[in-house]
């Protein structure tokens, strides 16, 4: 709860900071310090929850929030990723437009949404969390106001987003009709044999609504345009940390509440997973722009995260945590490199290895992690979610399909490596790569490898 | 501890190389490979002596890695792994010595990647935990991918990418099977060799028969056996010669080794069910690759196809399930690695001097560079398994094994596989004739072997003849493993 309050206060401070000062780099430094502070508070909370073993998870807001150790741990990890994001891309955020303070304020509010989604125990909180998380994103997507693509992205995102929120709300209402409660604990009483049709359609609507938010196919249509059109620093945020937050909400609801109804929804999710993997990977192959490729790749990665949803077991929880962090770290790193380049097409990467060997090396590690090569975080992430699915049984076909799709993904990730190392050309940079950039990217890179070597560090369960 | 050092020396030296500039890299690479040679020789010697005195002749090392996944960092060396580590230990310094005078662009990254690939390959030979094995299996591939793509021939990018994707798909299938097997045996050590082979071997025969293919595809692509071989001639042709040596002398052995160490104990009934199929595929590969080798004019492609034929024979013997075949196979893994290294060294010398690998444009090497011609002749004899060369003892045992196999078609198998020897003589001798004799082609640099080349070549030739005359150390090193695999 401390983190939620702190993030809100940080958001407010950042809003006022921009009134008081016009110094962009000052605001960035302030935000960095505040996010450090936020991370510290999260660690404090984790520390408290470790000491309080045996005590029931504290409930807040009339039992609408239940901050169990998983919620606190996950919030801490996401704050860590957000801090890394600010450290890597803070200066780039300041370049997007005039209202630098507001951007950081919106990011802080999104963090509030993520914390709510990690620990909700009531559908009302789920809904509020999703809204707190979505509305700042609509603004961030359109923050580059002079750019038509950014405005288009914002509008598209807003329309599609509100549409999906409507569907989500509908699902919640139907479940309320079936059970007379918003509390997710009470959904557990739904019985497989005498399932209320209202509840069943409610579950279906929830799958569609949440599927929209995590860009699962066929509800993914908005993703490429929005991710491509938004200013790059915000794409990095939206496609990683935010998405991971929604996934945890998805997981919590479907495992805690509908875990015994798997025979009703598992096949639906399995088909959605297969479609997502297929569309994400195959379409990514044909992209010319690396930014757009990363948008499709984020759909493809969502396909892997969906494995955690459909395997109702403890490994799935571990899997989603590792996946969320490994994928976020590597993708944020990748975007931090991308933003330094003038040309976002594959050709823009030509000859980068000669010009900036360190940068090219880091990019290679990030891409290998995304492709799932062993000893990088991405491998362990894929490993855990697939292990969860194998333990669940019944979906071995999907596991094999996913592995074939992982092989396809090597094609488009390695195209960047091929461009950097094996093609000749002059990769043009926006500005010099400073020692600070290299240091931060190096740390990110080490994190990717560390997760690959010791994924257990991310697990407290 | 020695096993860990075997891994760590190339790994650390490889990483260090990236930070060095100039000549220092070469020296570092040479020193570290010589260190691994000494170390692997020592490991093999210890295992050999322990085996002769009848005590426990394996070395083990293990420490916890990711207990949540049931995997640990565990290394294990028996006669077979020690022998292959020794092969790695011999081949790597030979490569570096032979290329001592050759300029490469960006030597720090070239030698760094070579050493990293050595670390990966050694890891594959030593890993005793399936997930660790998988990690090394992939890691060996990545440096080689970068090596081929940066220093290779004209079509290198497309060719090596095909190679990479091909092998990657195979390994992913293996990963799925490994995950599946590990879930059957939950606990702290579900990936350890003992547990995972137990889990696999207690599966129902029908399950084993499909798990077999999921695992075997990865190895079959690496070997490569027909029809999974299509990446191989192109990749060998396009890679720079040092990398071709790594690919054909060492990485191919990874596939064979993995079949023996992991596949056979893991799905014994699956192996029994499919062994005739695999033998038939291997034998088709022998004949098909031999015929293709006959019509090649490019030296590299010729040797590539000849290598497919040899690997086919080894694979057929592996699946014959006889102790003799198994024992011969282990010896032959070593010998093939030595022979093909010699072969590639000569090809690279020829290419340096004549500026071409096209056999129709070569000739008269025996008068212009007699030392090279003699070396070529010796290695070629070993390649066609003439007695008193190391190739003979291995192939003899392989054929013996196929002949003894319990399969109803053992005689047919042996007869058709024997065709490979005859065809092998045809293309190998034809190659010797065309390059060493005939019209003299002018050399670009008219020079016989330089000192460093002679040194590398001498090492290979001595091994070829020594192991041909006195193969006993090699046989004794691997005997207990062969006895364990086929009692």
**Predicted pLDDT at B113:** 92
What would the DSSP string read from start to end of B238-278?
HS-HHHHHIIIIIIHHHHHHHIIIIIHHHSHHHHHHHHHHH
Give a yes or no: residue B288 inside a domain: no
A 10 A CB-CB count for B352 gives 17
Interface check for B227 against chain A (CB to CB < 8 A): the answer is no
Beta-carbon contacts of residue B19 (< 8 Å; ≥ 6 apart): B108
Q: Is the peptide bond before A43 cis (omega within 30 degrees of 0)?
A: no
Q: Which residues of A touch B (CB under 8 A)?
A: 318, 368, 373-375, 383, 386-387, 390-391, 396, 399-400, 403-404, 406-407, 410-411, 414, 418, 421-423, 454-456, 459
Is the predicted pLDDT of residue A126 greater than 90, yes or no? yes
CB-CB neighbors (< 8 A) of B139 in chain A: 374-375
Give a yes or no: residue B286 inside a domain: no
Give a yes or no: residue B332 inside a domain: yes
Is the predicted pLDDT of residue A190 greater than 80, yes or no? no
Residue A241 carries which DSSP code? I
Q: Pull the structure tokens for residue B229.
A: 């071989």
Average pLDDT, chain B: 88
Element spanning B314, H or E: helix B299-318
Interface check for B69 against chain A (CB to CB < 8 A): the answer is yes
Is the predicted pLDDT of residue A103 greater than 70, yes or no? yes
Reported as a pLDDT band with limits 50, 70 and 90, residue A351 is confident
Interface check for B176 against chain A (CB to CB < 8 A): the answer is yes
Taking only the tens place, the pLDDT of each residue in A72-92 is 999 999 999 999 999 999 888
Interchain contact, A386 vs B179, CB within 8 Å? yes
Q: Which of B203, B204, B196 is nearest to B178 (CA)?
A: B196
**Predicted pLDDT at A75:** 93
Interface check for B208 against chain A (CB to CB < 8 A): the answer is no
CB-CB neighbors (< 8 A) of A365 in chain B: none
Give the number of domains in chain B.
1
The winner for highest mean pLDDT among A166-170, B18-22, B227-231 is A166-170
Reported as a pLDDT band with limits 50, 70 and 90, residue A461 is low
The shortest C-alpha distance from B56 to chain A (Å) reads 32
User: How far is Cα B66 from Cα B188, in angstroms, rounded to an integer?
Assistant: 9
Give a yes or no: residue B30 inside a domain: no
Interchain contact, A414 vs B161, CB within 8 Å? yes
Give a yes or no: residue B269 inside a domain: no
Calculate what percentage of chain A has a pLDDT beyond 70. Answer: 99
The shortest C-alpha distance from B164 to chain A (Å) reads 9
Three-class secondary structure assignment of A445-457: HHHHHHHHHCHHH
Reported as a pLDDT band with limits 50, 70 and 90, residue A233 is very high
CB-CB neighbors (< 8 A) of B176 in chain A: 386, 390, 399-400, 403
- Number of cross-chain residue pairs from A and B with Cβ atoms under 8 Å apart: 65
Q: Pull the structure tokens for residue A325.
A: 């962090």
Residue of B135, B150, B173 lying closest to A403 (CB–CB): B173
CB-CB neighbors (< 8 A) of B183 in chain A: 387, 390-391
User: How far is Cα B271 from Cα B405, in angstroms, rounded to an integer?
Assistant: 14
Is the predicted pLDDT of residue B346 greater than 60, yes or no? yes
Reported as a pLDDT band with limits 50, 70 and 90, residue A189 is confident
Within 13 A of B426's CA, how many CA atoms are on the CB side? 14
- Selected residue of A407, A417, A459 to mutate for chain B interface (largest B Cβ count, 10 A): A407
Within 13 A of A422's CA, how many CA atoms are on the CB side? 23
**Predicted pLDDT at A51:** 81
The shortest C-alpha distance from A406 to chain B (Å) reads 8
Reported as a pLDDT band with limits 50, 70 and 90, residue A371 is very high
Interchain contact, B169 vs A404, CB within 8 Å? yes
**Predicted pLDDT at A337:** 92
**Predicted pLDDT at A320:** 93
A 10 A CB-CB count for B396 gives 16
The shortest C-alpha distance from B364 to chain A (Å) reads 38
Interchain contact, B172 vs A383, CB within 8 Å? no
Is the predicted pLDDT of residue A194 greater than 80, yes or no? no
Locate the chain B residue with the closest alpha carbon to A459.
B68
CB-CB neighbors (< 8 A) of B69 in chain A: 383, 387, 455
Average pLDDT over residues A291-320: 92
Reported as a pLDDT band with limits 50, 70 and 90, residue A394 is confident
The shortest C-alpha distance from A390 to chain B (Å) reads 6
Q: Which structural domain, as residue segments, surrounds residue B373?
A: 322-487
Is the predicted pLDDT of residue A208 greater than 60, yes or no? yes
Average pLDDT over residues A410-434: 86
Average pLDDT over residues B407-428: 87
SS3 content of chain B, % helix, strand, coil (to 5): 75, 5, 20
Beta-carbon contacts of residue B399 (< 8 Å; ≥ 6 apart): B317, B414, B417, B418
Locate the chain A residue with the closest alpha carbon to B150.
A422
CB-CB neighbors (< 8 A) of B169 in chain A: 404, 407
Interchain contact, A375 vs B135, CB within 8 Å? yes
The shortest C-alpha distance from B452 to chain A (Å) reads 31
Locate the chain B residue with the closest alpha carbon to A318.
B68
Interchain contact, B134 vs A374, CB within 8 Å? yes
Interface check for B175 against chain A (CB to CB < 8 A): the answer is yes
Locate the chain B residue with the closest alpha carbon to A358.
B18
Locate the chain A residue with the closest alpha carbon to B65.
A454
Interchain contact, A422 vs B149, CB within 8 Å? yes
Helices (H) and strands (E) in chain A, counts: 18, 2
The shortest C-alpha distance from A422 to chain B (Å) reads 6
Residue of B139, B146, B165 lying closest to A410 (CB–CB): B165
The shortest C-alpha distance from A188 to chain B (Å) reads 28
Residue of B139, B161, B179 lying closest to A390 (CB–CB): B179
Give a yes or no: residue B175 inside a domain: no
Interface check for B151 against chain A (CB to CB < 8 A): the answer is no
**Predicted pLDDT at B354:** 83
**Predicted pLDDT at A433:** 84
- Selected residue of B124, B130, B135, B164 to mutate for chain A interface (largest A Cβ count, 10 A): B135
Give a yes or no: residue B18 inside a domain: no
Is the predicted pLDDT of residue A405 greater than 70, yes or no? yes
* Sign, Cα dihedral of A302, A304, A308, A311: positive
Residue of B139, B157, B164 lying closest to A374 (CB–CB): B139
**Predicted pLDDT at A370:** 93
Interface check for B164 against chain A (CB to CB < 8 A): the answer is yes
CB-CB neighbors (< 8 A) of A396 in chain B: 180
Locate the chain B residue with the closest alpha carbon to A414.
B161
Q: Is the peptide bond before B224 cis (omega within 30 degrees of 0)?
A: yes
User: How far is Cα B39 from Cα B45, in angstroms, rounded to an integer?
Assistant: 10
Average pLDDT over residues A397-424: 90
Taking only the tens place, the pLDDT of each residue in A237-278 is 999 999 999 999 999 999 988 888 888 888 999 999 999 999
Residue of A318, A373, A390 lying closest to B142 (CB–CB): A373
Is the predicted pLDDT of residue A279 greater than 70, yes or no? yes
Phi, psi of A167, deg, nearest 5: -65, -40
Average pLDDT over residues B115-119: 93
∠ at Cα A395 (A394, A399), nearest 5°?
A: 150
């Amino acid at each position: 709860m401390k983190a939620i309050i702190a993030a809100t206060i940080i958001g407010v401070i950042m809003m006022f900071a921009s009134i008081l000062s016009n110094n962009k780099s000052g605001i960035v430094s302030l935000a960095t310090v505040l996010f450090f502070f936020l991370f510290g508070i999260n660690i404090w909370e984790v520390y408290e929850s470790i000491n309080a073993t045996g005590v029931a998870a504290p409930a807040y807001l009339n039992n609408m929030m239940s901050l169990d150790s998983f919620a606190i741990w996950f919030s801490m990890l996401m704050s860590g990723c957000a801090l890394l994001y600010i450290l890597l891309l803070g200066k780039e955020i300041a370049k997007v437009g005039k209202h630098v303070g507001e951007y950081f304020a919106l990011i802080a509010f999104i963090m509030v949404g993520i914390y709510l989604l990690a620990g909700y125990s009531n559908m009302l909180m789920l809904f509020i969390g999703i809204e707190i998380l979505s509305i700042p994103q609509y603004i961030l997507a359109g923050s580059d106001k002079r750019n038509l693509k950014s405005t288009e992205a914002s509008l598209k995102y807003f329309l599609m987003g509100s549409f999906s929120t409507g569907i989500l709300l509908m699902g919640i209402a139907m479940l309320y009709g079936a059970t007379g409660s918003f509390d997710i604990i009470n959904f557990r009483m739904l019985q497989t044999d005498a399932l209320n049709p209202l509840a069943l359609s409610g579950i279906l609507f929830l799958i569609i609504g949440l599927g929209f938010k995590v860009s699962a196919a066929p509800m993914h249509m908005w993703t490429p345009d929005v991710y491509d059109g938004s200013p790059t620093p915000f794409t990095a945020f939206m496609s990683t940390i935010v998405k991971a937050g929604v996934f945890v909400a998805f997981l919590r609801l479907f495992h805690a509440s509908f875990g015994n109804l798997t025979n009703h929804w598992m096949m639906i999710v399995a088909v959605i997973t297969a479609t997502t993997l297929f569309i994400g990977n195959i379409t990514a192959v044909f992209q010319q722009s690396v930014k757009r490729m990363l948008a499709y790749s984020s759909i493809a990665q969502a396909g892997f995260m969906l494995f955690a949803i459909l395997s109702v077991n403890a490994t799935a929880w571990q899997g989603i945590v590792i996946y969320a962090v490994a994928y976020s770290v590597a993708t944020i790193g990748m975007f931090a490199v991308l933003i330094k380049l003038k040309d976002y097409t594959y050709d823009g990467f030509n000859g980068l290895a000669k010009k900036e060997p360190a940068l090219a090396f880091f990019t290679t590690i990030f891409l290998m992690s995304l492709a799932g090569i062993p000893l990088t975080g991405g491998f362990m992430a894929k490993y855990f979610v697939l292990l969860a699915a194998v333990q669940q049984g019944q979906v071995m076909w999907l596991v094999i399909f996913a592995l074939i799709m992982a092989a396809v993904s090597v094609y488009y990730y390695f195209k960047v490596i091929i461009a950097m190392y094996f093609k000749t050309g002059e990769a043009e940079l926006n500005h010099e790569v400073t020692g600070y950039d290299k240091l931060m990217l190096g740390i990110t890179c080490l994190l990717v490898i560390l997760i690959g070597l010791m994924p257990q560090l991310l697990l407290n369960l | 501890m020695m096993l860990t050092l075997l891994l760590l020396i190339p790994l650390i030296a490889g990483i260090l190389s990236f930070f060095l500039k100039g000549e220092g890299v070469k020296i570092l690479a040479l020193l570290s490979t010589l260190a691994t040679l000494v170390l692997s020789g020592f490991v093999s010697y210890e295992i050999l002596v322990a085996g002769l005195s009848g005590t426990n002749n394996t070395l083990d090392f293990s420490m916890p890695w990711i207990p949540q996944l049931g995997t640990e960092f565990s290394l294990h060396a028996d006669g077979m792994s020690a022998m292959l580590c020794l092969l790695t230990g011999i081949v790597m310094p030979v490569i570096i010595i032979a290329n001592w005078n050759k300029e490469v662009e960006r030597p720090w990254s070239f030698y760094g990647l070579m050493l990293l690939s050595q670390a990966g390959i050694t890891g594959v030979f030593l890993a005793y935990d399936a997930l660790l094995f998988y990690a090394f299996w992939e890691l060996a591939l990545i440096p080689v991918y970068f090596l081929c793509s940066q220093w290779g021939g004209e079509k290198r990018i497309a060719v090596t990418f095909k190679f990479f994707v091909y092998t990657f798909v195979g390994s992913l299938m293996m990963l799925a099977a490994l995950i599946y097997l590990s879930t059957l045996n939950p606990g702290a050590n579900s990936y350890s060799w003992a547990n995972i082979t137990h889990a696999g071997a207690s599966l129902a025969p029908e399950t084993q028969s499909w798990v077999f293919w999921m695992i075997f595809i990865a190895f079959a692509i690496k070997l490569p056996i027909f029809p999974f071989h299509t990446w191989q001639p192109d990749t060998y042709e396009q890679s720079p010669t040092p990398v071709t040596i790594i690919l054909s002398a060492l990485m191919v052995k990874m596939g064979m080794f993995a079949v023996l160490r992991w596949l056979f104990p893991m799905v014994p009934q699956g192996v029994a069910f499919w062994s005739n199929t695999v033998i038939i595929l291997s034998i088709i590969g022998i004949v098909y690759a031999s015929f293709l080798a006959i019509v090649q004019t490019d030296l590299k492609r010729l040797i590539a196809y000849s290598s497919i034929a040899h690997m086919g024979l080894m694979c057929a013997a592996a699946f014959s399930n006889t102790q003799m075949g198994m024992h011969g196979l282990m010896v032959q893994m070593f010998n093939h690695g030595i022979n093909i290294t010699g072969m590639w060294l000569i090809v690279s010398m020829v290419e340096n001097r004549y500026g071409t690998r096209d056999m129709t444009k070569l000739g008269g090497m025996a008068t212009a560079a007699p030392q090279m011609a003699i070396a070529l002749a010796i290695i070629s004899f070993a390649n066609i398994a003439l007695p008193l060369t190391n190739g003979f003892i291995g192939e003899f045992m392989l054929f013996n094994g196929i002949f003894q196999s319990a399969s109803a078609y053992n005689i047919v198998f042996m007869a058709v596989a024997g065709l490979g020897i005859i065809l092998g003589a045809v293309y190998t001798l034809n190659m010797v004739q065309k390059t060493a004799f005939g019209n003299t082609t002018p050399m670009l640099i008219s020079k016989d072997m330089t000192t460093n080349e002679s040194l590398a070549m001498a090492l290979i030739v001595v091994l070829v003849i020594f192991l041909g005359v006195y193969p006993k150390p090699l046989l004794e090193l691997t005997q207990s493993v062969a006895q364990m695999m086929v009692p």
